[in-house]
Amino acid sequence: MDAAPVTTSKEPARIAGMFDAIARHYDLLNRLLSAGFDRRWRAQAVAALRLSGRERLLDMCTGTADLAMAAVTAARGQARDVIGIDFSANMLVRGLAKVRSAGLQTRVHLARGDATAVPLPDGAVEAASVAFGIRNVIDPEAACREFHRVLVPGGRLAVLEFGTPRLPGLRAAYLWYFRVILPRIGGLVSRHGDAYAYLPASVAEFPCGDAFAAVLTRAGFGQVTWRTLTFGIVYLYLATRLPDDRDDTGRRTDAGV
């Protein structure tokens, strides 16, 4: 019998419900399935923003607040404070417990909201981030326009998202792990195998590299660049809300681990 097709619908209520269902095991599975690299990737995104300690950061799709907390505890280049927004109530509950446990509740503020209608006024933040969440948004370009709107001129955006390694041997091994092993482990631990089958399917259909850089450019950003992390497993995009109508072509670099 053929396996049931994996749905990659981005309908907001469906995505929120999926993350509500896996919130209890989300952090454990992130560490396990990424071999701990997820923390390093988030730290690299925070470092790339070149924060000075004076910025308010919007962390969209904040989940359980891992990047939000990293942004105010980094050894170098912290945000003054962070507004973390997500539309999964259960993920936010987990995140709030972590924030309180770490004593960061005066610097990390969590709220429920949608990336395509960010509940902040124009120019509310000096920096913004999205870690592994933009591919789950029903309209990524609309979300990027919202990030552009809430940033001050000169404000920077960092986006982390999964990709696929290009080196043939590594690519084959990674895809086998990502499509076969990861969904089985995720389903076994969380008891929601559909969520972990959705992960590789959603990554496969999401534009990466120059294609997503073009989305950022259409949303109004300039100085759009991207680079790969860990041999192409993850892509880090950087973009700036320019103080005028100048626009810059995206460029790419490859990095190692």
Who contacts 72 (Cβ-Cβ below 8 Å, separation ≥6)? 78, 79, 81, 82, 104, 107, 108
- Which pLDDT tens digit goes with each residue over 217-246? 999 999 999 999 999 999 999 999 999 655
At 1, is the pLDDT very low, low, confident or very high (cuts 50, 70, 90)? very low
Banded pLDDT at 6 (limits 50, 70, 90): confident
Average pLDDT value over all residues in the chain: 93
Alpha carbons 196 and 141: distance in angstroms, whole number: 25
Please report the pLDDT score of residue 212 as a whole number. 98
Asked whether the beta carbons of 199 and 186 are under 8 A apart, the reply is yes
**How far, in Å, CA of 86 to CA of 110, rounded?**
8
Is the pTM for the entire model greater than 0.85? yes
Which superfamily does CATH assign the domain made up of 12-164+207-254 to? Answer: Vaccinia Virus protein VP39 (3.40.50.150)
Is residue 207 predicted with pLDDT exceeding 50?
A: yes
| Distance between CA atoms of residues 162 and 142, nearest Å | 20
CA Rg value for the chain: 17
Tens-place pLDDT, residues 51-86: 999 999 999 999 999 999 999 999 999 999 999 999
**Domain ranges, ordered by start, for the chain:** 12-164+207-254
Q: How much of the chain exceeds pLDDT 90, in percent? A: 89
> What are the tens digits of pLDDT across the range 158-193?
999 999 999 989 999 999 999 999 999 999 999 899
- The three-class DSSP label of residue 196 is helix
Q: Tell me the HSE value of 189 on the side-chain side, using a 13 A CA sphere.
A: 19
- Tokens standing for residue 153: 């001129």
Q: What pLDDT does 109 receive?
A: 99
The reported pLDDT for the residue numbered 7 is 85
User: What digits encode the pLDDT tens for the residues 105-124?
Assistant: 999 999 999 999 999 999 99
Angstrom distance (rounded) from CA 119 to CA 33: 32
